[in-house]
Amino acid sequence: MDHATGAMGSLLPKLGELLKEEYKLQRSVKDDIKHLERELESMHAALSKVGDVPWDQLDEQVKLWANEVRDLSYIIEDIIDKFLLHVDGPEPENKPHMLKQLMKKMGGLFTKFMKRHAIGNEIKIIKVSVQEAADRRDRYRVHEVIANPDVATTADPRLLALYKDQKELVGIDDSLNELTKMLSDGDGDVSKQLKIISIFGFGGLGKTTLAKAVYDKLKTQFDCSAFVPVGRQPSVKKLLNDILYGIGKKMYPGLDERQLIDEIRVLLEKKRYLIVIDDIWDKKTWELVKTALVCTNCGSRIVTTTRILEVAARTGKVYRLQPLSRDLSEDLFHRRLFGDKINQPNHLPSEVYNKILHICGGVPLAIITIASLLVSKPVELWSKVYTSIGFGHEENEDVENTRKILRFSYYDLPCHLKTCLLYLSIYPEDHLIGKDSLIWKWVAEGFIHEEPGLRLFEIGERYFNELVNKSMIMPVEIPYHGIITGCRIHDIMLDMICLLSKEENFVTLLDSDEQYTTSHCNSRRLVVHHRVRPLASTSTLQARSLNAMCSLEMLPSLSCFDVSRVLALDGPTNSLYPNCLEHVGKLVHLRHLKLTSMGIHELPKEIGYLKFLMVLDLAGNSRSELPESIRLLSQLKCLNISETKIEVPYWIRDLTCLEELCLGKVGVHSNFVTELGKLTELRKLHISKSVTVGGNMAMNSWAESVAKLSKIQVIDIDFFSRVQILQS
């Protein structure tokens, strides 16, 4: 499911499912469904096209139409899912007495007949809504959608970095010297070889500024030089002509790409050249440029800049540009505020001052942007400006330029990665996001699409790595091991993500004592952070997911979330109140249930009714046992009961789809070791407490079971030998 197309990607196959004979729908209903299929396929194509255009460059009527159709797709999918669940629901585990069984069967048949009649009526209503949306699509000419030219042709704010006075540059001296040394290293034949260095870093870090400073410093040492901006969607002819203009001060508009490459190669032959290719977004562009830049063995140098690690590694030796130190951040901040380098004036509020520098994280673009917001304001208002960040909600050119630069990265992403990135708006700033937890949420939300030969988590892991590679998120590693366990989002990136998410109605965030209104009832993804005012219960919530970091007393009854796929509750310890989970068994659409640090002592047995549940995360809760009904969760892929005192139940063997198992305790007499080998789909096994074993025979049993796990990738177990303890 991509945000650009709403639920269309998963909805269309479900419409086809309804046409199967087993559902016994009337011919007229099937005809209506076929009509819906045709119209929705056309709308799917139109939404995909709309999704390729930056949101701020779309016509307002097209935006309204896109939001309406996305919402309509969710509503239709909810209706179909409820029908499929009732008609194709699970049979009871224990068969009742024959007469009671017959009566129950007759009642079930009557219920299914009524559901088929109801779905027929609802399909007719849906057909009318879809036809109205189709008429508006044709009226608004959505299929002809293009970017708004008044917005699309505005100047690229990155151009400003090319023409900064050297005196204005702060914090680049060390990087400039390092890069100059890297380009100059080598004696004799080594120094004559072509050397290529790629400056890598995320948007706003100052790659273009540094590259231009290096270029200005060194260009007089070369026979010819060129500084060529590329951009996200370059014209090949313009790019090659820009190189020609730089090295020969002449352009050749009448030549095709091959002729331009030949002309460049002729001009560079036997010359020592310096060429900077700024802001490369894809390997294909680089491979094309590289064919024109001949290796002359005259000591030529090429510098590239990119915010995509894979491109940097392909273009040359990678120079990772680091954020500014605290001292340099203060220096740049003061220069923008007061026009010169000075120490922190006594009258500046130190608490807000420190918070501002922290949120900037050493990113020059962020420092300049926030300083620009404050430059004309009395210090008494600084706190107000800080609390309004996302970079304020004020009209400010630097703020808009910052967002434009970051949005270049966002709009370069394919649709599925845009969706995954927008989902990060559910997390508060400075939050450490666990990689596995995030990927499982993507899976449960339907953002991960099946591919032949790959499991959904593996595809999600690739998505995560692509976002790291494109500098959209910052990876977090285990110290000294190099294993990525999570990520953080830079505050300026989170600002952009939250802004886009709000514009496109992707996530609804309720924070602090923000007023809860009826408009929130239609939110598809509801996020609640640190509520101090309870949310009113309502029966009309349509949220596909609820992520809440607050006490459950602040939330409506769980019965309000009957179409939810994700329920992630992370509250203060002992925040649970009596009967708060009594309706969890009714959330039959749940794919992901997370109840962490909630002080839970007992789970209701009704949790076994959640036939679609894929993730059950109960970390940080102390309970004496799990209900045996969990063994019925045949689609469960991730079970996390780490940091708990629970003994592993014998029926764990029945969860044969498990790919990730995180436990807190495995005792010396546990049957788990013999059952472990039956979980052949396991990818990750983690046991957080020491596992006590009884000597060599027990260790051999562990080894035999683990050897059967042919798909295992991660084993994290702290073994503790009982025999060794006795001998010591």
State the CATH number of the domain containing residue 33.
Answer: 1.20.5
Whether residue 161 is found in the same domain as residue 240: yes
Q: Mean pLDDT over residues 164-181, rounded?
A: 72
- End-to-end CA gap in the chain: 58
Cα distance between residue 694 and residue 669, in whole Å: 9
* Residue with token string 């830079």: 490
Q: Mean pLDDT over residues 598-606, rounded?
A: 77
Q: Does residue 146 surpass a pLDDT of 70?
A: no
Q: CA distances (Å), 492 to each of 241, 253, 365, 407, in order?
A: 35, 40, 9, 11
Q: How confident is the model at residue 104, as a pLDDT?
A: 47
Whether residue 41 is found in the same domain as residue 145: yes
Whether residue 331 is found in the same domain as residue 260: no
Under a CB-based contact definition with an 8 Å cutoff, are residues 535 and 517 in contact?
Answer: no
Cα distance between residue 516 and residue 533, in whole Å: 9
252 occurs within a structural domain: yes
Q: How confident is the model at residue 728, as a pLDDT?
A: 30
386-402 tens-digit pLDDT: 665 544 444 555 556 66
Whether residue 301 is found in the same domain as residue 387: no
Three-class DSSP category at 206: coil
Q: How confident is the model at residue 670, as a pLDDT?
A: 63
Q: How confident is the model at residue 91, as a pLDDT?
A: 44
Confidence band for 508, pLDDT divided at 50, 70 and 90: confident
Whether residue 130 is found in the same domain as residue 164: no
Whether residue 336 is found in the same domain as residue 441: no
Could you tell me which residues are beta bridge partners of residue 304?
198, 277
Give me the domain span that covers residue 466: 413-493
Q: Does residue 638 surpass a pLDDT of 90?
A: yes
Confidence band for 103, pLDDT divided at 50, 70 and 90: very low
Cα distance between residue 110 and residue 126, in whole Å: 24
Q: How confident is the model at residue 106, as a pLDDT?
A: 41
* Residue with token string 């060599």: 696
Cα distance between residue 116 and residue 24, in whole Å: 8
| pTM score, whole prediction | 0.72
CATH number at residue 426: 1.10.10
Q: How confident is the model at residue 275, as a pLDDT?
A: 93
Under a CB-based contact definition with an 8 Å cutoff, are residues 444 and 429 in contact?
Answer: no
Q: What percent of the chain has pLDDT over 90?
A: 14
99 occurs within a structural domain: no
Three-class DSSP category at 433: strand
Which run of H or of E encompasses 660? strand 660-663
What is the C-alpha R_g of the chain? 30
Confidence band for 615, pLDDT divided at 50, 70 and 90: very high
Cα distance between residue 467 and residue 412, in whole Å: 11
* CA nearest to 656, candidates 671, 675, 628, 641: 675
Mean pLDDT of the chain: 78
Whether residue 183 is found in the same domain as residue 75: no
Which run of H or of E encompasses 487? strand 484-488
Q: Does residue 197 surpass a pLDDT of 90?
A: yes
Q: How many CB atoms lie within 10 A of CB 690?
A: 13
Confidence band for 579, pLDDT divided at 50, 70 and 90: low
Q: How many CB atoms lie within 10 A of CB 456?
A: 20
Last residue in a domain, options 354, 375, 398? 398
Confidence band for 201, pLDDT divided at 50, 70 and 90: confident
345 occurs within a structural domain: yes
* CA nearest to 115, candidates 78, 86, 79, 91: 86
Overall number of domains in the chain: 4
Q: What percent of the chain has pLDDT over 70?
A: 74
Q: How confident is the model at residue 420, as a pLDDT?
A: 93
Whether residue 375 is found in the same domain as residue 475: no
Confidence band for 572, pLDDT divided at 50, 70 and 90: low
Cα distance between residue 653 and residue 709, in whole Å: 13
* Residue with token string 């109801």: 118
Q: Does residue 187 surpass a pLDDT of 50?
A: yes
Whether residue 242 is found in the same domain as residue 290: yes
Q: Does residue 409 surpass a pLDDT of 60?
A: yes
Q: How confident is the model at residue 171, as a pLDDT?
A: 64
